[in-house]
Amino acid sequence: MLTKRIIPCLDIKDGRTVKGTNFVNLRDAGDPVALAAIYAEQGADELVFLDITATVDERKTLIELVRNVAHTINIPFTVGGGISSIADVSALLNAGADKISINSSAVRNPDLVNELALEFGSQCIVVAIDTRYVDGEHIVHTHGGRKPTPLRTIAWAKEVEERGAGEILLTSMDTDGTKAGFALELTAKISGDANIPVIASGGAGTMDHFVDVFTTGKADAGLAASIFHFKEIEIPALKGYLREKGIEMRL
């Protein structure tokens, strides 16, 4: 049985870790390099680093910061934000990222998923899907969740897998930062349909929310930010609790 993964997420703005609710009302959560070191030490399975305003500001991800984080940790490290070309990915992998995450650029140019998978291998291409429930349908959003698209979330998840994505990072913007629990029904639908791992993001507030997302939601990994940044839940305690509940964890 495959072990489930716990993944802290560093949302980066102006070189600092930030966290908000439904992608707005951001507050400072600390130095990303220091936080990354703590999470690696605590037993996080992976780390995700998202430069959340890179696309909105029309600039590239902060390469130097990526390099500093990579030097500090010894766990797989995914970087996203403002990535739109093979050259962008090369630069980030050379700076120490293990995987890259694309979102707005994949929506704008779906062939980019195919190109990156062909060039670097599916194993390092994560497609992030930010989704909101609008008028009875799950709709893909871009630009840090600011812009709705014509894409339907479930169909888009299937398409990016077919195009060569190695993993899907699914963020429910309706639950993001609310600490009311993950979007279980949508996560279960996408995880059930997919032949690649699905990382669930948005809504973690308690240890039982992770139990729910791994069982009912069928997710392969659970991603969270504020509960870890503000020490509401410690990763070793969470992993111990999940083991007690019969969920396979790497301790």
Token pair for 243: 């083991």
Look at residue 26 and give its three-state secondary structure: strand
Please state, in angstroms and rounded to a whole number, the distance separating the CA atoms of residues 23 and 40: 25
In the annotation, is 135 catalytic?
A: no
Catalytic option among 45, 88, 130, 220: 130
Q: Which residue, 97, 129, 127, is CA-closest to 115? A: 127
Q: Which residue, 111, 110, 113, is CA-closest to 100? A: 113
In the annotation, is 130 catalytic?
A: yes
Look at residue 169 and give its three-state secondary structure: strand
Give the dihedral sign, CA 35/36/41/44.
Answer: positive
CB 79 within 8 A of CB 108: no
Element holding 122 (H helix, E strand): none
| Catalytic residue list | 11, 130
